[in-house]
Amino acid sequence: RHGDPAEPGPGAPGGLFAWLRGRCLGRGAAVDPARDTFGAMTGLYGAIQPADSVSLSTRTHGAVFNLEYSPDGSVLTVACEQTEVLLFDPISSKHIKTLSEAHEDCVNNIRFLDNRLFATCSDDTTIALWDLRKLNTKVCTLHGHTSWVKNIEYDTNTRLLVTSGFDGNVIIWDTNRCTEDGCPHKKFFHTRFLMRMRLTPDCSKMLISTSSGYLLILHDLDLNKSLEVGSYPILRARRTTSSSDITSSGSSGPRAVGSPCHQNNSGPPSEKTLSRPSQREGGSPRNSLEVLTPEVPGERDRGNCITSLQLHPKGWATLLRCSSNTDDQEWTCVYEFQEGAPVRPVSPRCSLRLTHCIEEANVGRGYIKELCFSPDGRMISSPHGFGIRLLGFDAHCSELVDCLPREASPLREIRSLYSHNDVVLTTKFSPTHCQIASGCLSGRVSLYQPKF
């Protein structure tokens, strides 16, 4: 029995395995009802316009580096250059609260653990935990990094907080045992020239980007096991391509990138990580490391810097913002996760394939532009000059799995929205409403929603 009689069953074209694969990909109505309403959602986003803007003096909070909605969409938080965190009601556009001294330096990233608890990280090397019900004081401050902390992830299954910084460290914090003095923590992973770190939605993989153009993937992730150099199996370094034949490649050359608030050295990961074979020939063991140099269409010398790293909400793809070796080009690229990770060190196949890309405006050089997927994964919101662009995989905003090209194709521009007077640095979709927020270098936050 297959539930809804109208749903295709094992007897449909393609047979049992095609039917099961479709269910795993979320392509059946019983698995993902949102697919039935994508036409309505596309129409709503097609009617989206600048709605409200919050213009505050840059003398108080400076540039907007990150935006984050609470999971229920009731609160919008803003990470600012000048030590502040702003909170807004995204429906009424009203300012709720300013955490004027949230940190002692730039606030870089915000991550909600649930609808009331959230974490912030800063160039002051600390992470702070906050409770929306009591914002006059921090829940606790976490010390462990030795340089600017740029990224926060959270595993809802284990309640482990995962942070990364320009000290090259990925640190695990056990929020199950959190006190006013902090949380127990341990160094999980270290690599040189780390830029961004993300967990896939099911926490089965960790992706790490570097300023020298490397993308590191830890497969079959086990956050309870600390990793030191040489203690994990290494899968061969490869260069991704846009064709179906993924071939091996060597390492890329060094590259430098910097900005007033985002600086880093560059270069390849430790040479030891490029040669050690897998410890298990028959399969990919826990925390096996794959080293990739993703292809960027406008740059063939492999000297790119991966500045922004995001993941598809269903774990199907990764979204990268890359700048060229000479800083004269910026690209937004989508890489599909191939089925299964490489399981042998001599495998000619890598786990990512370039499917879509588009060239960006390349303004505000040196500042990192943070882009994002829509909650259903059908659209991308990307900073573009003094505004944002809504991008789709095709003109109909189809699911990625429904329009995978044989070769890399351009992302389609669905809509361009401009309401800033300075370079947009970050953008975010609301998880519950048809709304988009963006923040720029001069400190302005804009909201976009449908107007009919």
Calpha distance 71→433 (Å, rounded): 11
Contacts of 390 (CB under 8 A, 6+ apart): 45, 48, 379, 380, 381, 413, 414, 415, 416, 417, 436
Amino acid (one-letter) located at 365: R
Confirm whether 249 is domain-assigned: no
| pLDDT value, residue 1 | 39
Q: Which two tokens stand for residue 124?
A: 């002051």
| pLDDT value, residue 245 | 34
Long-range contacts of 401-404 (CB under 8 A, 24+ apart): 401/25, 401/27, 401/316, 402/27, 404/336, 404/355
| pLDDT value, residue 52 | 60
Q: What residue has token string 């129409």?
A: 43
| CATH code for the domain in which residue 320 is found | 2.130.10.10
Q: Which two tokens stand for residue 397?
A: 């905003």
Calpha distance 342→346 (Å, rounded): 9
| Tally of domains in the chain | 1
CB 432 within 8 A of CB 449: no
Confirm whether 309 is domain-assigned: yes
Confirm whether 357 is domain-assigned: yes
* Residue 129, helix vs strand vs coil: strand
Confirm whether 336 is domain-assigned: yes
Confirm whether 403 is domain-assigned: no
DSSP 8-state secondary structure symbol assigned to residue 43: H
Which residues form the domain of 338? 63-238+287-366
Per-residue pLDDT tens, the chain, 452 aa: give them: 344 444 455 455 555 555 555 555 544 444 444 455 556 666 677 677 776 665 554 456 889 999 999 999 999 999 999 899 999 999 888 888 999 889 999 999 999 999 999 999 999 999 999 999 999 999 999 999 999 999 999 998 889 999 999 999 999 999 888 887 788 899 999 998 899 999 999 999 999 999 888 899 998 899 987 665 445 555 545 555 443 333 233 333 323 233 333 344 444 444 333 333 333 334 457 888 889 888 777 655 545 788 899 999 999 999 999 887 666 788 999 999 876 544 544 444 578 899 999 999 888 888 899 999 999 999 999 999 999 999 999 988 889 988 899 889 999 999 899 989 999 999 999 999 889 999 999 999 999 988 76
| pLDDT value, residue 266 | 42
CB 102 within 8 A of CB 120: yes
Taking the CA of residue 369 as centre, how many other CA atoms within 13 Å lie in the half-sphere pointing to its CB?
29
Amino acid (one-letter) located at 321: R
| pLDDT value, residue 323 | 83
Confirm whether 90 is domain-assigned: yes
